[in-house]
Amino acid sequence: MPGFDINSELTDIETGQMTFCTSILDSLDLQIAVINEAGEILYVNKAWIAFGNENGLDGMDWLRSNYLDVCRAEGIHDDPSMKDIAASIQAVIRGEMEKFEYEYPCHCPMEQRWFMMQMALLGGFSPRLFVISHLNITQRKLAEQAVASLSLHDPLTGLPNRRYFDQFLNAEWQRNMRDKTPVSLVIFDIDYFKSFNDTFGHLAGDKCLTAIASIIREVARRATDLAVRWGGEEFVLLLGNTPLDDAIKIAEETRLLVQRTQMADLGHCSVSAGVASFVPWDNHYDSLLALADEALYRAKAGGRNRVEAATMPAIKLA
């Protein structure tokens, strides 16, 4: 039986049964190993060997290896989570856990990969044996990522949506609160967008939205910046660690870029913008949005195609 070395622990199993079981296990994509209470590997199937060969372990003598030692070594050198895996394996061996499972990434230079590791007692043997399996769950994880991305992004422009914004702002808000640095926010509104849609049609309106989204996306260059499709004809630009004067300058540069952009044969669009900025001192950031919205209202009331800054409240730094 290839890869099998349980010896006297399996003396009661007939040769035909062993061959049958081995054929079943070797036909699976699931990577399977059997270990004893000391962590020594007693059996691996073909999928386990193949995975090792594909990941720099070709020629590995698995039946002379200790799985616990492998996990501990990986935890020391590369992956701290392997220490947790080794601890969980030992807990199952000691009978403190019935079984355990663990999802983990195992990326390589050519592709992203994820696996599900499972361990359980292999019944009917004394001394006790344990089965460990690794299942490739990459397609499921990629599908989950795709669904998550769809739920967090606007389908037309590809920009993050308000749900993504809430998650991002919360983290950025906390960081700036710790550092006592300002968070700035710009709300852009496309001028006379309803009239544009009525005149040129909704397909032209979509082209206008995607063109402006591309401009605002390019402005959000840093890891602390975020361009968002806010809804309708509104966009939001979040600027972490950015004072008001710099945010006003960025908003004005964006306004000019939009104004200069030719929308195919439809002419030009313009945007109005409201800017607000202050140093966070509590967990309530609704006031920043309200201030930017108030400034946007003044920009539109003042003739549109312009930038207005909010009148800032007294800032509490402690």
Give start and end residues of each alpha helix (H) in 94-201.
138-152, 162-179, 193-200
CA-CA distances (angstroms) from residue 77 to 37, 67, 188?
A: 24, 16, 49
CB 170 within 8 A of CB 280: no
CA of residue 159 relative to chain centroid, distance = 15
Task: Kindly give the pairing relationship between strand 129-136 and strand 114-122.
Answer: antiparallel
CB atoms within 10 A of CB 25: 21
CA-CA distances (angstroms) from residue 234 to 9, 173, 199, 222?
A: 70, 22, 19, 21
Query: Directed axis angle between helix 202-219 and helix 244-260, to 10°?
Result: 140
Out of 233, 234, 294, 308, the active site residue is 233
Task: Answer yes or no: 233 catalytic.
Answer: yes
The rounded distance, in Å, linking the Cα atoms of 97 and 89 is 9
Task: Kindly give the pairing relationship between strand 307-309 and strand 225-231.
Answer: unpaired
Vertex 242: Cα angle to 278 and 286 (nearest 5): 40
Active site residues: 233
